[in-house]
């Protein structure tokens, strides 16, 4: 069964965690009194990059900026669909300056970047999933930003309401496995949003709260390989049963800021 899953080459954008720290609290995971082991974070991040490259993916990097400790979470900076870039407008004032270096990088690479008018936190809440974009709201990105994304990309946007503050971004509760299917934690969503997901994805891989709290849904898939937190053991088993190949990558030091594998990974879809 595993052989039926075909990986596709991906282009990822990342940012070195040289200035990573927890200096403020903007989600339930963050505690400024809990120190970050920066050397460990560096090793874990380099392992993620090495694993991506070992699986044939292209990895490019934005230079980190002093004073922006969350800039390592590249996924929040933009969403790229069909070579078009929708930038970010962060809710937290502490993170708003991150948009500029990412916008500069994309422009230097020849992309046009559209700045959103409403709060929009990139792939944190906008998850391209085949024919449409799944879009989270409730804690960060607004419904107005969903409308902006649909008008900008010309792709249907499916709004989903998040209800658990531990899963404040959509990419902490859901990820795309391939063009046709997803994995998600149902209880992170409102009842109506759960019905929408069940209708769109009757064969979805669902996760337990334990898997979700281990950042198992903050994963990246290339269609065959799923780069996943080693703590999400039950989810990894379910993925393997469906023919996917779990590739455990430990980014536990980043959990202190509410991030994981996907948070550190921006996908550039040309």
Active-site amino acid positions: 169, 263
* Residue 199 burial (CB count, 10 A): 8
- For 267, the enclosing helix (H) or strand (E) is strand 266-267
Query: What separation in angstroms does the CA of 167 have from each of 19, 137, 214?
Result: 24, 11, 11
DSSP 161-224: EB--GGG-SGGGTEEE-SSS-EEE-GGGB-HHHHHHHHHH-TTPEE--HHHHHTTTTS-EE-SS
Tokens representing 19?
């200035």
β-pairing, 132-137 with 126-129? antiparallel
Q: Which residue carries 């392992």 as its tokens? A: 47
């Amino acid at each position: 069964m595993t052989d039926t899953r075909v990986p596709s080459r991906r282009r990822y954008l990342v940012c070195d965690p040289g200035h990573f720290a927890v200096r403020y609290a903007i989600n339930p995971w963050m505690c400024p009194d809990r120190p970050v082991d920066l050397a460990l974070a560096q090793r874990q991040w380099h392992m993620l990059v090495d694993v991506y490259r070992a699986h044939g993916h292209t990895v490019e990097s934005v230079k980190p900026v002093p004073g922006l400790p969350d800039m390592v979470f590249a996924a929040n900076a933009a969403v790229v669909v069909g070579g078009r870039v929708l930038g970010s407008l962060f809710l937290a004032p502490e993170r708003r300056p991150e948009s500029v270096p990412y916008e500069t990088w994309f422009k230097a690479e020849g992309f046009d970047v559209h700045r959103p008018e409403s709060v929009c936190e990139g792939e944190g809440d906008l998850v391209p999933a085949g024919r449409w974009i799944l879009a989270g709201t409730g804690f960060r990105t607004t419904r107005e930003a969903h409308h902006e994304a649909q008008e900008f990309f010309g792709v249907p946007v499916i709004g989903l309401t998040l209800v658990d503050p531990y899963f404040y971004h959509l990419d902490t509760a859901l990820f795309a496995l391939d063009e046709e299917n997803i994995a998600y934690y149902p209880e992170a969503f409102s009842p109506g949003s759960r019905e929408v997901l069940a209708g769109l994805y009757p064969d979805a891989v669902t996760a337990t709260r334990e898997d979700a709290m281990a950042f198992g849904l903050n994963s990246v898939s290339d269609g065959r390989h799923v780069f996943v937190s080693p703590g999400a053991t039950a989810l990894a088993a379910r993925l393997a049963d469906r023919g996917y190949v779990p590739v455990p990558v430990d980014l536990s030091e980043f959990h202190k800021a509410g991030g994981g594998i996907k948070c550190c990974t921006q996908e550039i879809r040309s």
